[in-house]
Amino acid sequence: MNFLKTTTFLIAAGLAQPLLAQDAGGRVDIVVQPEPPSLMLGLVQNGPTQQVAGDIYESLLRYSTDLEPQPSLARSWEISEDGLTYTFKLQEGVKWHDGAPFTSADVVFSADVFLRETHARMRSSLAHVASIEAPDDLTVVFNLKQPFGPFIGVFETGTMPMIPKHIYEGTDFANNPANATPIGTGPFKFESWEKGSFIHLVKNEDYYLDGKPYLDEVYYRVIPDAASRAVAFETGEVDVLPGGSVENWDVARLTGLDNTCSTGKGWEFFAPHAWMWLNNRQGPTSNPLFRQALMYAMDREFVRDVVWNGFGKVATGPVSSKTNFYSDDVTQYDYDPEKAKALLEEMGYDGEPVRILPLPYGETWQRWAEAVRQNLQEVGIEVTIDSTDVAGWNEKTAQWDYDMAFTYLYQYGDPALGVSRNYVESQIEKGSPWNNVEGYSNPELDKKWDAAAISPSPDERTRLYDEIQKEIVNDVPVAWLLEIEFPTIYNCNLQDLVTTGIGLSDGLRDAWIKQ
């Protein structure tokens, strides 16, 4: 590893944990794949952006691998008995990276102004909020319109990042010059970005948790192809291969190397769910029979076993089996080419070709697109693959310029937080690749999504989500593929790399190097 000279001292390992001796100092090199389009987490929420920016920005809470809330910028919180009032007490002495004090006014600005405008997922959750108040500099009160049980889960850094009011208030958020040099409160500060090569973060010497972070600096390395990333790990050029940064078929070989550790933890909060957006507005994909035919035409078990080397589970619908309120009491789309052909004949499919837009995250995704093309051609659907880079993928999906587009999105532990946003009509908004991109409209189902979100009864929520899953799986607004798994591979000398339910996306606060 790229260790610097270190010293050992006693520090508080956590807000409520005993003192432990840790090794302080050192440098860690981590692959980021692909290169983020931006590090402004309030504007861009894709995986590579959050992996880096999750240690620059913070939110009020973190979440354990059991999805229990933990302190972050909030040191404590209370929820009223009627479930309508959430009161947070903030940490003392927190500073933005430019030295300005962080206060409750920043929380109100971030949630009530900035994120309501820029963040589709947060905007959906904030629809339940009547007002946000700051009675003093260290207290924030969220007043809800009605009880919303999942609300305690929205205070994660990628969902509600804190944005500096003194830099963004009254500006054009999307074009603020500070977007290029992000300023947060996190354990690491932005130092430099050499495009196509690396992003350099350095220790926040004024961090409010005494003694943290342990590391002096972090380099996020941009390495263009998976084979080169694997070699960089083998030679010690990089210390961490995040999930998805090498091809699946290389994982077993790399994890067998000396002093190499791996973990599947750190994805519990996200539960990444892969599907293809299907353009519901026009072309063959606007017909539900065509969409059902797609599901029967795809051999998803083959993809799981061969393309993903067993790292995943075939998805049965919109909710992951790792997420609360999952049900498998739905139509099962087993691989059945003859049934697919019958549905195409029933709809009168005329052979109009469709375009597939792969996710530009490596060879695995390209192979996946090719496997789907082969499956669809075997049932008589002509397919072209429309490959692009990350910026191009963002643009095409956000502007609805596609027929079928691969993606994976996070679920955030509850259907009301990470699932409904992809299917309710209110989340159809051109310009964002993270909401209802397919254009699915079902007003009656929207009412059920809304009712399930605010019901105080777990039994009632279960009943409603069961009905939603059964109905929406028949409509096939998107083509659900896999619940994907991402093993993180790292040098065993690196300790406490994954300590939360979002893993590397906020974990470097705790990481240290064993000497």
Q: What is the 3-state secondary structure (H, E, C) of 106-156?
A: HHHHHHHHHHHHHCHHHHHHHCCEEEEEEEECCEEEEEECCCCHHHHHCCC
C-alpha to C-alpha distance for 16 and 12, rounded to whole angstroms: 8
Kindly tell me if the per-residue pLDDT of 25 is higher than 70: yes
Q: Which two tokens stand for residue 189?
A: 């500060």
pLDDT in tens, 81-133: 999 999 999 999 999 999 999 999 999 999 999 999 999 888 888 989 999 99
C-alpha to C-alpha distance for 36 and 179, rounded to whole angstroms: 13
Nearest to 267 by CA among 301, 311, 305: 311
Nearest to 393 by CA among 448, 346, 421, 355: 355
- pLDDT of 235 reads 97
Q: For the residues of 235-282, what is the DSSP string, one character each?
A: TTS-SEE-TTSS-GGGHHHHHTSTTEEEE--S-TTT--EEEEEE-SSS
C-alpha to C-alpha distance for 515 and 512, rounded to whole angstroms: 10
Largest CA distance in the chain: 73
pLDDT in tens, 149-186: 899 999 999 999 999 999 999 999 999 999 999 999 99
pLDDT in tens, 395-432: 999 999 999 999 999 999 899 999 999 999 999 999 88
C-alpha to C-alpha distance for 384 and 358, rounded to whole angstroms: 11
Kindly tell me if the per-residue pLDDT of 391 is higher than 50: yes
- pLDDT of 206 reads 97
Contacts for 383 with CB less than 8 Å, ≥ 6 apart:
353, 354, 355, 356, 372, 373, 376, 377
- pLDDT of 136 reads 98
- pLDDT of 21 reads 56
- pLDDT of 23 reads 79
Q: Cis peptide before 213, with omega less than 30 degrees from 0?
A: yes
| Percent of the chain clearing pLDDT 90 (strictly above) | 84
C-alpha to C-alpha distance for 319 and 465, rounded to whole angstroms: 9
C-alpha to C-alpha distance for 255 and 266, rounded to whole angstroms: 17
| Percent of the chain clearing pLDDT 70 (strictly above) | 96
Kindly tell me if the per-residue pLDDT of 20 is higher than 80: no
- pLDDT of 507 reads 83
C-alpha to C-alpha distance for 265 and 275, rounded to whole angstroms: 22
Cβ burial of 19 (10 Å; 0-12, 13-18, 19+) is exposed
C-alpha to C-alpha distance for 480 and 470, rounded to whole angstroms: 14
CATH class of 7-56+186-266+490-513: alpha beta
Question: How is domain 61-168 classified at the architecture level of CATH?
Answer: Alpha-Beta Complex (3.90)
| Helical axes 288-297 vs 458-475, angle rounded to 10° | 90
pTM, two decimal places: 0.80
Domain ranges of the chain: 7-56+186-266+490-513, 61-168, 273-484
Q: Which two tokens stand for residue 419?
A: 């699932």
Nearest to 260 by CA among 234, 284, 280: 234
Amino acid at 413: G
Neighbours of 440 (CB within 10 A): 23
- pLDDT of 35 reads 94
Kindly tell me if the per-residue pLDDT of 15 is higher than 50: no
Q: What is the mean pLDDT of residues 296-318?
A: 96
Neighbours of 98 (CB within 10 A): 12
CATH number of 273-484, picked from 3.40.50.720, 3.10.105.10, 1.20.200.10, 3.30.750.24: 3.10.105.10
Residue pair 471/20 in contact (Cβ under 8 Å)? The answer is: no
Q: Decide if 7-56+186-266+490-513 and 273-484 have a common fold.
A: no
pLDDT grade for 19, boundaries at 50, 70 and 90: very low
Kindly tell me if the per-residue pLDDT of 213 is higher than 60: yes
Nearest to 245 by CA among 158, 356, 365, 358: 365
- pLDDT of 149 reads 85
Question: How far lies 336's CA from each of 252, 377, 411, in Å?
Answer: 32, 14, 29
- pLDDT of 12 reads 31
Exposure string (b/e) for 174-198, b if CB count within 10 Å is 16 or more? eeeeebeebbbbbbbbbeebeeeeb
Residue pair 60/173 in contact (Cβ under 8 Å)? The answer is: no
